[in-house]
């Protein structure tokens, strides 16, 4: 009887533990990502990605899945919040003292490495919890797919230069916007939704996951960080002294060869040197600079196989979390101090545009691939042929940037109320806007434009304006309802980049103020012929001015209308507001009749 009972118990135990082990294995298998199940060759479609994220939400109290907006084709923009204390609002997270990290992928949807790395990382954080300690002081916002519509333009031929996955999404959105050119102008619905998310959470650190093209080399990943004078000093120092050494060393210990993101000095040969260029605010990294936050550009190398690239992206984000846990207090301090210094910008000059100093170069090692240059009869130029052999070469590095434009920051900017589109878009960047409660007459500084032209080819839906500017000071009447942007804000750098016309991504350059360049009244030729003769008769010295104008402007000398309009411009009928910037700069603090802040 005892033997029989023991036998039954043994059989039951084997059966029970076998079923349990099978269920455990099945559960573990279920948490494999599509990428892993495919043998590291494929990336999941949108619906499979969302399903995995929602399953993480259902399985863990540390996860909440949300949508932060809709795409033009009606898809949800996915957001996964990961916090081991179950804090899923920015208020609760701030109260906890955690650092907020935003990790976004597929802003260019064919570049899916970060998405697959993020899905695996989330699993190890909240399901297996092998990396749970990385959530001790960090809350993560994962955007697995930013460009959701472009992601579903799925196919094998979207990335000519890229080695896997088998199929992937398209670079641009359904409206053909490149989202990584849209951070400051924010024309796309996706970016407008992203800005609402960003302003609500105000992350302390952002990782923007990409895949790069360019030359063949040994680096599995390059990274872009902004370290020029356009970055507030405390954050610039934290970037170069704390973050960069930590991540470079951590990746090196994992045998992941990394280097700063570069462009080739002169194609096609890498031996001509590489440039490490500054970023304007249209890009994520440059937008971080004007927001006083680190936006870390991740660029895995397109020619490496997909598994190698996803592994590198996974390891880098893991090390980022380790860094943020270790240096939480110093990063938060650098961010807060940078915000405080930015509020104190009025009266000082802010660098707006930078360019490479091509006279400043250093020779340094580059982990390249051996190549030879031959002449190509197809391109009628030099061709590079790589032979696959790793080689360390000494090449020129161009790293130094110089400021080419800056502006003195006023006490406030003021915009007449008819320019509603520009005023509204300022608000998208969390800019605080007051309104005049009554009309006022003010002395302001502003600009007049000269030599205005437009690029002949559309870029991101716009014909960009080109011009020179001449500063001026004058008294203007501003009506009630005019927008007053007092420069005591953490977004002062953003404001200046949008409203200073010579900034690289200003509203003027993007074409949002084109109507101010248009003259609306005209002079008939037969009238101007008579007026010109009368003016010359009354003022013989004007003939010398006319002759000098023709000598200085050979094109105008051959243009009858240009010759006639020389005189038209000197009559009281000439439209003096043409080419005049409507935005005024109030340089000293003043008591103004203001209503409350827009939207408050």
Tens of pLDDT, residues 350-362: 999 999 999 999 9
Q: In angstroms, how far is CA 533 from the centroid of its own chain?
A: 56
Encode pLDDT of 48-104 as tens digits. 999 999 999 999 999 999 999 999 999 999 999 999 999 999 999 999 999 999 999
Tell me the pLDDT tens digit for each residue of 403-416: 999 999 999 999 99
Strand stretches in 513-554, DSSP E: none
**122 pLDDT higher than 60:** yes
Q: What is the pLDDT of residues 414-463, one digit of tens each?
A: 999 999 999 999 999 999 999 999 999 999 999 999 999 999 999 999 99
Contact 364, 421 (CB under 8 A): no
Contact 77, 141 (CB under 8 A): no
Q: Phi/psi at 352 (nearest 5 deg)?
A: -110, -40
Segment 240-275, tens digit of pLDDT? 999 999 999 999 999 999 999 999 999 999 999 999
Look over the chain and give the mean of its residue pLDDT values, rounded to a whole number.
94
Residue 167 carries which DSSP code?
S
pLDDT at position 29, please? 52
The pLDDT value recorded for residue 420 is 97
**b/e code 391-410 from CB counts within 10 Å (16+ = b):** eebebbbbbebebebbbbbb
List, for residues 274-284, the tens digit of each pLDDT value. 999 999 999 99
**What value, to the nearest 5°, has the Cα angle with vertex 215 and ends 209 and 217?**
85
pLDDT band with cut points at 50, 70 and 90 for residue 15: very low
Residue 12 has pLDDT above 80, yes or no: no
Q: Tokens 């892993």 label which residue?
A: 36
Query: In this structure, what are the phi and psi dihedrals at residue 474, rounded to the nearest 5 degrees?
Result: -155, 165
Q: What end-to-end distance do the CA atoms of the chain give, in Å? A: 82
Mean pLDDT of the region 112-124: 98
Nearest alpha carbon to residue 275 among 187, 194, 356, 371: 356
Q: What is the pLDDT of residues 512-545, one digit of tens each?
A: 999 999 999 989 999 999 999 999 999 999 999 9
Task: With a cut of 90, say whether residue 300 has pLDDT above it.
Answer: yes
Q: What is the mean pLDDT of residues 296-323?
A: 98
Residues 6+ away with beta carbon under 8 Å from 311: 117
Q: pLDDT tens, 146-168?
A: 999 999 999 999 999 999 999 99
Higher pLDDT, 376 or 17: 376
Q: Which CATH number fits domain 37-225+279-341: 2.40.160.10, 3.40.50.150, 3.40.50.620, 3.40.630.10?
A: 3.40.630.10
pTM (predicted TM-score): 0.92
**By CB neighbour count within 10 A (0-12 exposed, 13-18 middle, 19+ buried), where does 481 fall?**
middle
pLDDT at residue number 14 = 42
By the 8 A CB rule, do 485 and 426 touch? yes
Average of pLDDT values for 208-212?
Answer: 97
Select from 447, 445, 449 the least CA-distant residue to 412: 445
Q: What pLDDT does residue 21 have?
A: 40
The tens digit of pLDDT for each residue in 221-241 reads 999 999 999 999 999 999 999
Cβ burial of 345 (10 Å; 0-12, 13-18, 19+) is buried
Per-residue pLDDT of 311-325, as tens digits, reads 999 999 999 999 999
Within 10 A of 84 (CB to CB), how many other CB atoms are there? 21
Q: What residue segments make up the domains of the chain, in order of their start?
A: 1-30, 37-225+279-341, 410-519+578-586, 525-568
| C-alpha of 243 from chain center | 20
Distance of CA 55 to the CA centre of its chain: 31
Q: State how far the Cα of 560 lies from the Cα of 553, in Å rounded to an integer.
A: 13
The predicted pLDDT at position 6 comes to: 52
Question: Which uninterrupted H or E stretch holds 570?
Answer: none
Q: What is the mean pLDDT of residues 293-306?
A: 98
Specify the pLDDT at position 576: 86
Query: Please, what is the Cα angle at 150 between 148 and 155, to 5 degrees?
Result: 120
């Amino acid at each position: 009887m005892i033997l029989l009972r023991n036998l039954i118990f043994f059989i039951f135990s084997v059966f029970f533990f076998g079923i349990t082990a099978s269920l455990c294995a099945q559960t573990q298998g279920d948490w494999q990502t599509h990428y892993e199940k495919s043998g590291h060759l494929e990336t999941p479609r949108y619906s499979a990605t969302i399903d995995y994220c929602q399953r993480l939400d259902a399985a863990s109290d540390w996860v909440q899945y949300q949508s932060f907006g809709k795409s033009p084709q009606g898809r949800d923009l996915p957001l996964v919040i990961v916090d081991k204390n179950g804090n899923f609002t920015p208020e609760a997270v701030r109260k906890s003292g955690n650092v907020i990290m935003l990790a976004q992928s597929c802003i260019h949807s064919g570049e899916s490495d970060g998405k697959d790395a993020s899905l695996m990382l989330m699993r190890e954080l909240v399901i297996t919890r092998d990396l749970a300690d990385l959530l001790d002081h960090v809350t993560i916002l994962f955007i697995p797919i930013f460009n959701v519509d472009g992601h579903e333009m799925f196919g094998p031929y979207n990335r000519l230069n890229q080695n896997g996955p088998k199929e992937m999404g398209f670079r641009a959105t359904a409206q053909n916007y490149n989202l990584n050119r849209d951070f400051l102008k924010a024309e796309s619905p996706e970016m407008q939704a992203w800005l609402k998310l960003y302003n609500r959470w105000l992350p302390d650190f952002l990782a923007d996951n990409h895949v790069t093209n360019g030359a063949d080399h040994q680096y599995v990943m390059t990274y872009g960080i902004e370290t020029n004078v356009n970055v507030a000093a405390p954050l610039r120092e934290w970037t170069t002294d704390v973050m960069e050494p930590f991540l470079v060393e951590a990746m090196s210990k994992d045998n992941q060869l990394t280097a700063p993101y570069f462009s080739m000095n002169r194609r096609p040969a890498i031996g001509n040197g590489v440039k490490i260029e500054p970023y304007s605010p249209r890009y994520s990294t440059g937008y971080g600079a004007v927001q006083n936050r680190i936006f870390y550009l991740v660029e895995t190398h397109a020619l490496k196989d997909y598994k190698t690239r996803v592994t590198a992206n996974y390891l880098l984000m893991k090390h980022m979390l380790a860094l943020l846990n270790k240096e939480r207090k110093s990063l938060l301090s650098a961010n807060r101090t940078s915000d405080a210094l930015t509020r104190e910008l009025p009266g000082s000059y802010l660098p707006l545009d930078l360019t490479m100093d091509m006279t400043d170069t250093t020779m340094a090692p580059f982990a390249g691939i051996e190549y030879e240059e031959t002449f190509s009869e197809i391109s009628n130029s030099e061709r590079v042929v790589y032979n696959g052999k790793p080689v360390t070469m000494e090449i020129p590095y161009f790293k130094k940037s110089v400021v080419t434009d800056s502006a003195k920051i006023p006490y406030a900017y003021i915009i007449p109320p008819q320019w509603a589109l520009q005023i509204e878009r300022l608000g998208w960047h969390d800019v605080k806007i007051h309104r005049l409660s009554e009309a006022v007459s003010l002395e302001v500084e502003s600009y007049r434009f000269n030599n205005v032209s437009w690029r002949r080819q559309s870029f991101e839906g716009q014909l960009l304006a080109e011009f020179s500017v001449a500063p001026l000071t004058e008294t203007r009447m501003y009506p009630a309802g005019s927008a007053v942007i007092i420069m005591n804000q953490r977004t002062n750098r953003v404001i200046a980049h949008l409203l200073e016309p010579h900034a690289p991504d200003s509203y003027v350059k993007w074409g949002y103020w084109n109507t101010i360049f248009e003259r609306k009244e005209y002079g008939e030729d037969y009238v101007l012929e008579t007026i010109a003769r009368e003016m010359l008769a009354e003022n013989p010295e004007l003939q010398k001015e006319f002759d000098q104008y023709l000598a200085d402007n050979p094109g105008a000398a051959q243009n009858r209308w240009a010759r006639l309009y020389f005189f038209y411009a000197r009559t009281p009928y000439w439209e003096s507001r043409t080419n005049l910037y409507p935005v005024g700069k109030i340089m000293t603090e003043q008591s103004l009749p203001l209503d409350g802040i827009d939207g408050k």
